[in-house]
Structure 1
Amino acid sequence: MTRRVGRADLKAVGQVRRDLRELLRHHCRADTAEVAELLVTELVTNALVHTEGGAEVSARVKDARLRVEVRDGAARRPRPHVPSADDGTHGRGLVLVEALADTWGVDPLALGPGKVVWFELEDAG
């Protein structure tokens, strides 16, 4: 699955979730798919809110492992941080990714500016 999401198109986040759900429908347990949907929502939303351009989302299942990547054009690396109590729900996305993904990371793009933020979940396949 690959999907391009336009700059600030937060409505497209729901379509990304649906596309991922369809990909995973026959490839993993329901609880794994739910975690994947939550994490892709966080990464895509971060890319759209914290960068100037859009994002490209890709997901694949191989050897019982799901890998989801979100590419954007900003070189700045995101970092998980625990917000203060008065921040509401803002700032918790990467903390969720860190807690729920089997592995995750941030890599610079090989060509041009930008990065890919990714996570992997086992038990897909």
Structure 2
Amino acid sequence: MVRSGAGESMRQPVRREERDRGEAAGGGNRSGGLVGWRPRVLEHKVRPADLRAVGEVRRELRQLLSRWREPAGEDLTEIATLLTSELVTNALVHAKGGALVRATVTDRLRVEVRDFAARRPEPRAATADGTSGRGLMLVCSLADAWGVRSHAVGKSVWFELGGGPA
């Protein structure tokens, strides 16, 4: 707790990833109380420079979302596939070692795209005649939450949709 003058106490905001680590370590049931309920997961390994895999990941994600216990609306599915396509394409274009895609459906959809390049992506404005620079701006605009998490080798860029802000 942080004290803020006049005896008031304010709780420090907890990043969603930190909260999730705590739940995984021993705590909360994010399944809404359903005993034995497991999140639905998609995992896809993308080989280096395999741009055909972007379409494969989109199809697999649509399939996963069609089985969501609370049916995903068409808008959410379209946004999720667009953002996933952007992140997978970015990983293939800007990193040389392929990518790992993981989508998890609980009360929210979380998509993580891991690559093996250390450089962190930064949203940038696209030029009028350029063909790049829009991917992360779309993620910033359309996702309920998003971020970058560093790993010992590489990083994961993730976003979340559904269920309101993180």
What's the TM-score, normalizing by structure 2?
A: 0.70
Matched, 1:16 2:60: no
* Structure 2 Cα separation of the partners of residues 44 and 31 of structure 1: 20
Question: 1:59-98 to 2 correspondence within 5 Å?
Answer: 59-63=103-107, 65-87=108-130, 89-98=131-140
Q: Which residue of 1 aligns with 2:84?
A: 40
AA of the residue aligned to 1:44: V
Q: Which has the higher contact order (CA 8 A, sep 6+)?
A: 1
Matched, 1:118 2:158: yes
AA of the residue aligned to 1:80: P
Residue segments in structure 1 that go unaligned for 5+ positions in a row: none
Q: Greater Rg, structure 1 or structure 2?
A: 2
Deviation (angstroms), 1:52: 1.1
SS across alignment from 1:86 = coil
Q: Which runs of 4+ in 1 moved over 3 A?
A: none
SS across alignment from 2:44 = strand
| Number of corresponding residues | 120
Q: Which residue of 2 aligns with 1:99?
A: 141
AA of the residue aligned to 1:19: E
Deviation (angstroms), 1:30: 1.1
What's the TM-score, normalizing by structure 1?
A: 0.92
SS across alignment from 1:85 = coil
Residue segments in structure 2 that go unaligned for 5+ positions in a row: 1-41
* Structure 2 Cα separation of the partners of residues 68 and 40 of structure 1: 7
Give the % identical residues: 59
Matched, 1:3 2:49: no
SS across alignment from 1:117 = strand
Deviation (angstroms), 1:86: 2.5
* Structure 1 Cα separation of the partners of residues 99 and 43 of structure 2: 11
